[in-house]
Structure 1
Amino acid sequence: MKKRTLQSPLNRLVFIALFGLLAMGACKSKKKVVAEPAPPAPVEKVEPAPAPAPAQPSAEEVAVGKLENYFSSIANSTNVQAANSTIQEALSMFSNQETPVLIVIYEESGIKDYDEPTTIVKYLNYLKDTKKNLNFISDIRLDANGRVSELELRRK
């Protein structure tokens, strides 16, 4: 008896699949398909963000710098005339000659203890007489015209 091999459905399916694969493989061209390279995507030119402008010092910072220079030049002046002319220049920065100058001698828990209050004229003359600049500016208040209306100092 002869057995037919294509009688079973599984055998038929395998045979058709093999035949289809061979037919598809034989139809392919031997030439390689060269895909054209896609044009490069447009690249956005990213301009670096401009560097931030250097921060301009506030009016208080400028005033502190000038006053510290005046204080040190008065204390280090070689003669009385030079000290007096520097005092007159420094006084032009203040709202008046009676501007209060407070010197902090002690602070605890935010409570400040001040030396006896003085005026700017007295303090500048004190610097001239003692030739020692022992304090630095810790707080400054300006009026509407940009002139110093109150000054707070601390020991260095």
Structure 2
Amino acid sequence: MKQSLFAFSLRKTLFLALFAMLAMGACKSKKKAVQPTPPPAPTEEVVKPTPPPAPVRSAEEVAVEKLENYFNAVAGAGSVNAANQTIQETLAMFSNQETPVLIVIHEENGIKDYDEPTTIKKYLDYLKDTKKNLNYISDIRMDASGKVSELELRRK
């Protein structure tokens, strides 16, 4: 049987139309994929807050640091003259040479037991003689002029 030219052409036309619609649909999705994405929204510049200024140290903290350094220098001095010079520099930080130095030997329930009280001059001479600094400063009291008026030490 012979098919009519019109029927064949109608099938062919419908097939081509269907193929064209599929092709156009595919092109649209590719077009969307190929289109450049919009630039990202501008991000806010993160401003780092400036760090707070270093805490101001109290006069007692500064004095403790200096005294610890002086005590170590006296104990580690290479000669008697160097130790005596360091002792004179250290004594300038105290209200007088008879400033009391208390050494805690035991503490229980807030009650402290002290070694025999001594003076700063005697303690510095002790450091010079023994060449050992076995104590650290646990409490310091200063007078109105900024000089040390009492010192409390503990074993390291």
What CA distance in whole angstroms lies between the structure 2 residues aligned with 1:129 and 1:120? 14
What CA distance in whole angstroms lies between the structure 2 residues aligned with 1:116 and 1:141? 19
- Listed one character per residue, the Cα deviations across residues 43-93 of structure 1 (whole Å, up to 9, x for unaligned) are x99965432111011111100000000000100111100000000000000
- Listed one character per residue, the Cα deviations across residues 6-40 of structure 1 (whole Å, up to 9, x for unaligned) are xxxxxxxxxxxxxxxxxxxxxxxxxxxxxxxxxxx
Residue equivalent to 2:100: 100
TM-score (norm 1): 0.69
For residues 1-150 of structure 1, the aligned pairs below 5 Å read 49-150=49-150
Secondary structure, counterpart of 1:55 in structure 2:
coil
Kindly tell me the number of residue pairs found equivalent between the two proteins. 114
**Structure 1: gaps (5+ residues):** 1-43
How far did residue 111 of structure 1 move?
Answer: 0.2
Instruction: Give structure 1 regions of 4+ aligned residues with deviation exceeding 3 angstroms.
Output: 44-50
TM-score (norm 2): 0.69
What CA distance in whole angstroms lies between the structure 1 residues aligned with 2:95 and 2:133? 22
Residue equivalent to 2:6: none
